[in-house]
């Protein structure tokens, strides 16, 4: 995270939530404070994405997403 804040124009996080923004603040601040940092908190962009689907029946929408979310949150090569 610190290196991202130091050298990048912004960040495209996965599973980002404004509720967890405080968790990233110290790491981002570390990067912004490094000599030669390209951006500041004011000029650094965070572009979060989310899945949106309008439906009256959420079950058929949520069920196919569960394996992907389980892989990303608990798998990704973990034993």
| Cα–Cα distances in angstroms (integers) from residue 48 to residues 2, 70, 74, in the given order | 18, 19, 20
Average pLDDT over residues 8-34: 91
Q: Is residue 11 part of a domain?
A: yes
d(CA 3, CA 37): 9
* Domain encompassing residue 29: 2-74
Q: Is residue 6 part of a domain?
A: yes
Q: pLDDT at position 6, please?
A: 97
Q: Is residue 23 part of a domain?
A: yes
Q: pLDDT at position 21, please?
A: 86
Q: Is residue 79 part of a domain?
A: no
Q: How many domains does the chain have?
A: 1
Average pLDDT over residues 32-37: 96
Token digits of residue 47: 């572009």
Q: Do 16 and 48 form a contact (C-beta atoms < 8 A)? A: yes
State the pTM of this model. 0.65
Backbone dihedral angles phi then psi of residue 71, each to the nearest 5 degrees = -65, -50
Q: pLDDT at position 56, please?
A: 95
The SS3 assignment for 61 reads helix
């Amino acid at each position: 995270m610190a290196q991202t804040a130091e050298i990048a124009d912004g960040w495209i996080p996965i599973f980002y939530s404004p509720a967890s923004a405080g968790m990233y603040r110290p790491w981002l601040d570390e990067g912004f404070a490094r000599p030669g940092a390209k951006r500041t908190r004011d000029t650094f962009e965070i572009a979060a994405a989310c899945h949106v689907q309008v439906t009256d029946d959420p079950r058929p929408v949520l069920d196919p997403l569960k394996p992907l979310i389980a892989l990303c949150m608990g798998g990704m090569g973990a034993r």
